[in-house]
Amino acid sequence: MKAKDKAVSTVGNPFMSKWSGALPDETEEETQERLQELQEAHKRSKEIDEFLQEGKRIIDQRKRAVKILLLGQSESGKSSVLKNFQLAFAPRQFENERIVWKTIVQLNLIATIKIILDALKAEWESDSSLPRTPLGDPLPASPARNLRRIRLGLSPLFFIEANLMKLLCPETPDSRDVCVRAGSGWKALLSARRKSSPNRGDDLGRRRSQVLNNENDPTFVLAAQRDDIISLWSDARVQEVLERKRLRLENAPGFFMDDVARIATLDYVPTDSDIIRARIRTVGIEEHHFVVEKGADANSDVFITDVGGSRSQRASWVPYFDDVQAILFLAPLAFNQTLEEDPRVNRLEDSLDLWKEICQNKLLAHANLILFFNKKDVLTATLAAGVWVKKYVPSYADQPNDVIHVTKYFKNKFRSVHKHLSPIPRPFMCYETSAIDIDSMAVLLIGVRESILRQHLREGDMI
Ligand SMILES: Nc1nc2c(ncn2[C@@H]2O[C@H](COP(=O)(O)OP(=O)(O)OP(=O)(O)O)[C@@H](O)[C@H]2O)c(=O)[nH]1
Ligand SMILES: [Mg+2]
C-alpha cells in the first residue's frame, strides 16, 4: 500500500496541522508514521483531559454536597423537615413517592377513627345503668345501635389496618402510630402496591406480594363508608364525649378527620400538605440522599440522616456524629405537653435536656448547630386557647402570655445552654418554624442549605 493511501487525518489536532509537513530527510512513510504517533498522543492527551475534568466535576460536586443530621425528640418534626427538604430541592423524587403516602394518610385516618369508636364504645355500650331490652341491648338504643352499625360497616378497615401494620412494622404491629424501621424498604413496599409485582424471592418480595393484594387496600371501604365517617365526626354527641374525655384529636399528629370528604374517595391522591402532615414514627436511623434538581446548584448532593427521636433510640445516634457538617435540632415549643414514652416528662424540658447533651458533646464540637423552634402554629393556637405558660413552667411567672414573649423566653434558655456548654464558641443559629407551612419552609431551607454550604466551604478553605 502506498503511504499516501493511509494518510493520517490532521483535522482537529493543532500539533498535527503544524507538523504535518515532511521533515528534511524524512521519507513519506516516516512522515505518516510520525503523524500517526502524534495523532495517538493527542488522543491520549484528550482522554487525560476528560478524565481530569470528570475528576474535577466529582470533587466540585462533593464539595457542594451538604450533610445534615436531624435530631430532636419524637414528634418534634424531623421527618417533616426531611420531607420539606425533598419538596424544595428534589420535587420530582417527592412526586414519585406521592403514592406511598396515600396509604400512610389512610392509616392515620383509620387510627383516629379507632380512637373515636373506642371512646364511644366505652361511653355508650358499657353503661350498665341503662335499662336493657329483652335481648340485653341497653336503652335508649339509638346512639349505641347507630354506633354498632357504623362499626360494623367499618370493621373491614380494621382488618386491613392490622394487616398493613404487620407488614409495615412487623416488630411493633400493635403500635398506635404507623412506625417504620429505617432501611426496611417500606417505601418500595407501598409504591409497588399499584404496580405489577416483581418476582423477588427475598423478604421484601414476599412482603410486597402480600401488600400488593387489593384486599389490603383501604380505599374501597373508606369510600363506601365515607358518609358514616363524616356524620360520626360531625355528631355533636360524639364531640361532647371526646371533649369530656379530653381527647383533643385535632392537635394529635396525623389528624385527617376534617378532610374525610376528600380523602375517603376512590381517586384520592394526597396533596403536598397531606404528605407533610402524615405521621410515621421513625424507628432506627435512615440516611437519605437526593440530588438538587434545579437552580444554580443543580446536580449537587444532599445527604440527610433522619433518626428516631424517642428516648430508647437516642443512644444509637452517636455513630452518626462523626461525619456531619450540620445538625438541625428540632425543639417544638410544646410547653404544655408530655412525652408519649414517659408522660411524667414535660416535652420542652426534655428538649432542653437533649439540647444540653448535644451542645456539650465533644464529638460535635465543630458541627454547626441549627435550632428549629418548630410547631410555632401549635404554640400560637395553644396560647390563643388561653393556656397559661406559668401553669406548666412556673419560672415564666407573670410575663405576657403571648407568642413573642414566650418564644423569646425559651430562646434565651436554649441560647444560654449553647453559649455555656459548647466546648468551643460557635454562633447560635435559631429559627422559628412550622414544618406544615410548606412555602415558608422552602424559603428557609434554601437559606439554611446555602449557609451550611458556605460554612463548609469556608472551613475547608475552599472559597
Ligand atoms: N401543626 C404542626 N404539626 C407538625 C409540625 N411539624 C411536624 N408536625 C407534625 O407532627 C407529627 C410528627 O412529626 P414527625 O416529623 O413525624 O416527627 P419526628 O421528629 O420525625 O418523630 P419520630 O420519627 O418519632 O422521631 C407529624 O404528623 C407532622 O405532620 C408543625 O410545625 N406544626
Ligand atoms: Mg421521624
Average pLDDT of 177-205?
A: 67
Residue 393, C-alpha cell as written in the block: 413552667
pLDDT, greater one: 164 or 349: 349
The verdict on the CB of residue 83 being under 6 Å from ligand 1 is no
Residues 6+ apart with CB under 8 A from 347: 73, 332, 334, 335, 337, 338, 339
Q: What is the dihedral of CA 443, 444, 445, 451, to 10 degrees?
A: 110
Give residue 197's pLDDT.
45
- The amino acid at residue 270 is P
**Residue 314 CA: which ligand is closest?**
1
Which range among 210-224, 286-300, 308-322, 434-448 shows the weakest confidence by mean pLDDT? 210-224
CATH fold, domain 95-125+142-194+210-276, is: GI Alpha 1, domain 2-like (1.10.400)
Task: Confirm or deny that 397 is annotated as ligand binding.
Answer: no
Query: Domain residues of the chain, as ranges?
Result: 65-93+286-460, 95-125+142-194+210-276
435 C-alpha to center of ligand 1: Å? 8
At 119-144, the pLDDT tens digits run 988 777 665 544 444 444 444 457 77
The CA angle 282-284-290, to the nearest 5 degrees, is 75
CA gap 369, 330 in Å, rounded = 11
Give residue 145's pLDDT.
81
Task: Confirm or deny that 413 is annotated as ligand binding.
Answer: no
**Residue 312 CA: which ligand is closest?**
1
CA gap 338, 352 in Å, rounded = 13
CA-nearest residue for atom 32, ligand 1, is 375
Task: Confirm or deny that 245 is annotated as ligand binding.
Answer: no
Residue 329 β-bridge partners: 71, 371
CATH fold, domain 65-93+286-460, is: Rossmann fold (3.40.50)
Residue 391, C-alpha cell as written in the block: 401553669
Task: Kindly tell me if the per-residue pLDDT of 214 is higher than 80.
Answer: no
The verdict on the CB of residue 74 being under 6 Å from ligand 1 is yes
At 386-422, the pLDDT tens digits run 999 999 999 999 999 999 999 999 999 999 999 999 9
pLDDT, greater one: 110 or 10: 110
285 C-alpha to center of ligand 2: Å? 9
87 C-alpha to center of ligand 1: Å? 16
* Predicted TM-score of the model (pTM): 0.82
396 C-alpha to center of ligand 2: Å? 30
